Structure 1
Amino acid sequence: MKKLVCLYIFCSILSSQDYSVRFDGINDYAYVLDHSDLDLTSNYTLEAWIFPESFSWLAGIISKYHTNGSNGYTLRLNQDSPYTGLGFDELETNNSVLDVNQWYHIAAVKSSNGRRLYVNGLEVNLSGNPLNVNSNNDPIRIGSDFGGRFFQGRIDEVRIWNISRSEIEINTNMEGSLTGNEEGLIAYYNFNEGIDNTLNDLTGNEHTGVLVGNPLWTDGISVNGSLGDINYDETLNIYDAVQLVAIYLDNSLGNDQQLILCDTNQDDIIDIDDIVLLISWILGIDNSHLNGINNLSFFQESNSLIINPGENIAAIEIKFEEKVENNNNFNIPSGWIYKIKNDRLILFSIDGSSFPKDYKINLKGKTSIKSIKASDWSGNKQFKTKNSSNISQFKIYPNPFNSSFKVNINSLFNEVISLKIYDINGRFIKELYNGISKNEYNFDLNNYDISSGLYYVSLISSTKVLNKKVVYLK
């Protein structure tokens, strides 16, 4: 789980821009004519909010490199499939930095100490050999890189600085608007025109941008503090749920504001309960009539996992003793999706369905379960660790009995158990059962050569041994 530490007052977060421009990834872009102000080679910062709708090779975000050998600065997607990373002056991140249909703030900084790249205010690693950036006569393009490498998605709040901005400076105002008079700001486009094909430079330096192709004006980035709106598009949808899971599993970088929005139930912890609540909001589920969790159980045998989750389960998180392999043939119920990160597996419903009973999942490799947590549509949950007691009830009835009796067992998860009978002196008489645990057993001692008297029935599991005294009246 993620615990939140809020360093600012939640209600002080300001709403940002109303518009952005959506580029089609085919021939849309904006250009700004060359000017000496824009020939940056030593210290500079490039910033933008982006909302990628697909990923393609070296798709441009901000670029001044459009002719052979011009070697201008570039901020774009990376060159390795599936192109879900970023590139800055030919240094690159790994893939999986970005997801589709999510807003991201990107800041690329060049200084005398090298280059740094920030996603949502957090620095990400860059590798490779940096470009030796030169002044040139190329225009700046927004949404396009050299050779027509076009970006598909929305772009908003483009800022170009002739200084190297610090991490603190980037985080201070990335979620708000600028005045245009900030020190070092040489071009600033807030995309709030909403009409025509002109992007006004709000610095007063008159580096006007012109839209080319047929890009569309659409909703822009709006940091308005709505719980669950993690991708800032002012709509609660499945993309918010996927982003919440990615942040929870550390598959995606989340800024301080997004961490607040992830905590949908406002308990200062991000976990699967927040995922369930967000999905119920998205689907408009009325959970007032639903029953809570009961008799959650699972059984692992080799690389198979059998789950019997009880009623109305909306999400399951399983932690393993070791890293779990991501199986491309991972079979899950219809209407559910899953995410894996290292030793954690999360499954959750996206259509309001509950997890089916006795469902079998195949896992790659041999892994052992450390703990399991389930959350239902009503917010109820159950949690169990490997080392805690699995058996919550062990009853024998009738007692005394004549010939036959029943054993009732309640357990969180299924495991291999043994039921044995001993005489009053502790001498082993008979093993009545050895196998996967279940709720009820029926035994008839007439089938065995056992005389009347006092006996002990012993239940032996992986974590404990329980004994019950019984009286056999033959």
Structure 2
Amino acid sequence: MKVIGTIIACLMVLSFATFLCDDVFAAGGKGNVKQMGKQMYIWHFEEGSGKETKDATAGLVGELVGDIKWVAGKTGNKALEFAGKVGAAQYVKVAHSDELDIDEQITMAAWVYPNSLPTGGQENKFTIMFKLTYYLQIEPGDGTEGHLAYYFYEAQPEQYYLSDATVKAKEWSHVALSWDGTKATYYVNGQKSNTVNHKGPGKVNTEAVQFGGENAACCPRFFQGRLDDVVIANYALSEGEITGLMKVVAVQPQSKLSITWGEIKQP
């Protein structure tokens, strides 16, 4: 069982057993916190072989597309490595489900180890995760590359937003984007970077979620390097929760991962 891994059901219950939302947004996605309560999904990539990887909380299966390698991970034993070559698509494809049908709040997080940093134009972004509605990527540039890029269709103003903090090539970094429906905040290695105004709700669709690559016809953009412990939550994690997510090193396993924050062992 992986470290960060089994924490999941419960970053969700830090404050309430049942979460009631007072947002003014109309309910859209079936996976929103209003509909499902606080939910978090994490792919540890601990299988170590084969063409499938499974989320630790709801069992959402990801199909490995292309020649993705199983390699040493940041946490636990294994991670996935992507070559990031256009024309040789590599990504993990998680079929559309109600759980990932999110448009009011979201947290996206992962451990990333880019072999290099993207340069050039927008077509060269390194995609960490993508649903054709919500994105988390590493921004290309010429001397300014390494910023995180976030997008959520139809949330206003509708545009890409960049982090102030950057990640480095050939180093593990923990990255996260937490959006509460009005503001989106970036975190790199547990440290708050910057916050941008971004009002929801966003758009929902029935597309698959993909990790490590975006095979859209307009702009195939693929990650070059390793990914580990990819997280999607249907609510905005606080700074403390994101730090805990990054730093937790041991938990007591419980039936169906039904654990509480108080049961998590912190370093």
Corresponding residue for residue 25 of structure 1: 84
Counterpart residue identity of residue 83, structure 2: D
1:163 corresponds to 2:235: yes
CA contact 2:148–2:163 (8 Å) conserved in 1: yes
Corresponding residue for residue 181 of structure 2: 112
Pairing 1:3-42 to 2, within 5 Å after superposition:
16-26=75-85, 27-42=89-104
Pairing 1:241-260 to 2, within 5 Å after superposition:
none
Secondary structure at 1:173 match in 2: helix
1:77 corresponds to 2:147: no
Take 2:258 and 2:83, find their aligned partners in 1: how far apart are those partners?
A: 32
> What is the CA distance between 1:148 and its match in structure 2?
1.8
Take 1:74 and 1:130, find their aligned partners in 2: how far apart are those partners?
A: 16
Pairing 1:32-71 to 2, within 5 Å after superposition:
32-56=94-118, 57-65=124-132
Alignment match of 2:162 (pick from 92, 95, 109): 92
Secondary structure at 1:158 match in 2: strand
Corresponding residue for residue 137 of structure 1: 206
> What is the CA distance between 1:172 and its match in structure 2?
1.4
Max radius of gyration: which structure?
1
**Compared CA separation, residues 61 and 88, structure 1 to 2 (3 A):** same
> What is the CA distance between 1:131 and its match in structure 2?
8.5
Task: Among all aligned residue pairs of Structure 1 and Structure 2, give the percentage whose two residues are the same amino acid.
Answer: 25
Pairing 1:169-184 to 2, within 5 Å after superposition:
169-175=241-247, 176=249, 180-181=257-258
**Compared CA separation, residues 131 and 77, structure 1 to 2 (3 A):** farther
Take 1:21 and 1:100, find their aligned partners in 2: how far apart are those partners?
A: 16
Corresponding residue for residue 4 of structure 2: none
Secondary structure at 1:165 match in 2: coil
What are the ranges of 5 or more consecutive residues in structure 1 without an aligned counterpart?
1-14, 66-71, 184-256, 258-474
> What is the CA distance between 1:126 and its match in structure 2?
5.1
CA contact 1:85–1:98 (8 Å) conserved in 2: yes
Take 1:48 and 1:91, find their aligned partners in 2: how far apart are those partners?
A: 18
**Compared CA separation, residues 55 and 133, structure 1 to 2 (3 A):** farther
Pairing 1:259-278 to 2, within 5 Å after superposition:
none
Take 1:125 and 1:150, find their aligned partners in 2: how far apart are those partners?
A: 25
Pairing 1:167-246 to 2, within 5 Å after superposition:
167-175=239-247, 176=249, 180-181=257-258
**Compared CA separation, residues 126 and 152, structure 1 to 2 (3 A):** farther
Pairing 1:429-440 to 2, within 5 Å after superposition:
none
Pairing 1:273-292 to 2, within 5 Å after superposition:
none
Aligned residues: 163
> What is the CA distance between 1:173 and its match in structure 2?
2.9
Corresponding residue for residue 412 of structure 1: none
What are the ranges of 5 or more consecutive residues in structure 2 without an aligned counterpart?
1-73, 119-123, 152-159, 261-266
CA contact 1:93–1:127 (8 Å) conserved in 2: no
**Compared CA separation, residues 142 and 167, structure 1 to 2 (3 A):** same
> What is the CA distance between 1:125 and its match in structure 2?
2.1
Take 1:174 and 1:86, find their aligned partners in 2: how far apart are those partners?
A: 17
> What is the CA distance between 1:132 and its match in structure 2?
6.4
Take 2:197 and 2:242, find their aligned partners in 1: how far apart are those partners?
A: 24
CA contact 1:91–1:126 (8 Å) conserved in 2: no
Q: Which runs of 4+ in 1 moved over 4 A?
A: 126-132, 177-180
> What is the CA distance between 1:80 and its match in structure 2?
3.5
**Compared CA separation, residues 114 and 182, structure 1 to 2 (3 A):** farther
**Compared CA separation, residues 129 and 167, structure 1 to 2 (3 A):** closer
Take 1:181 and 1:81, find their aligned partners in 2: how far apart are those partners?
A: 46
CA contact 1:92–1:126 (8 Å) conserved in 2: no
Secondary structure at 1:159 match in 2: strand
Q: Deviations over 1:390-449 (max 9, x none)?
A: xxxxxxxxxxxxxxxxxxxxxxxxxxxxxxxxxxxxxxxxxxxxxxxxxxxxxxxxxxxx
CA contact 1:91–1:129 (8 Å) conserved in 2: no
Take 1:155 and 1:182, find their aligned partners in 2: how far apart are those partners?
A: 25
Secondary structure at 1:174 match in 2: helix
**Compared CA separation, residues 75 and 169, structure 1 to 2 (3 A):** same
Take 1:44 and 1:136, find their aligned partners in 2: how far apart are those partners?
A: 15
> What is the CA distance between 1:19 and its match in structure 2?
0.5
Counterpart residue identity of residue 80, structure 2: V
**Compared CA separation, residues 76 and 131, structure 1 to 2 (3 A):** farther
Pairing 1:297-336 to 2, within 5 Å after superposition:
none
Instruction: Indicate the structure whose relative CO is greater, using CA pairs within 8 Å and at least 6 residues apart.
Output: 2
**Compared CA separation, residues 106 and 130, structure 1 to 2 (3 A):** farther
Secondary structure at 1:93 match in 2: strand
> What is the CA distance between 1:104 and its match in structure 2?
0.5
Secondary structure at 2:168 match in 1: coil
> What is the CA distance between 1:43 and its match in structure 2?
1.4
Secondary structure at 1:60 match in 2: strand
Counterpart residue identity of residue 105, structure 1: H
Counterpart residue identity of residue 139, structure 1: A
Corresponding residue for residue 12 of structure 2: none
Take 1:16 and 1:76, find their aligned partners in 2: how far apart are those partners?
A: 21
TM-score, normalized by length of structure 2? 0.55
Q: Deviations over 1:204-233 (max 9, x none)?
A: xxxxxxxxxxxxxxxxxxxxxxxxxxxxxx
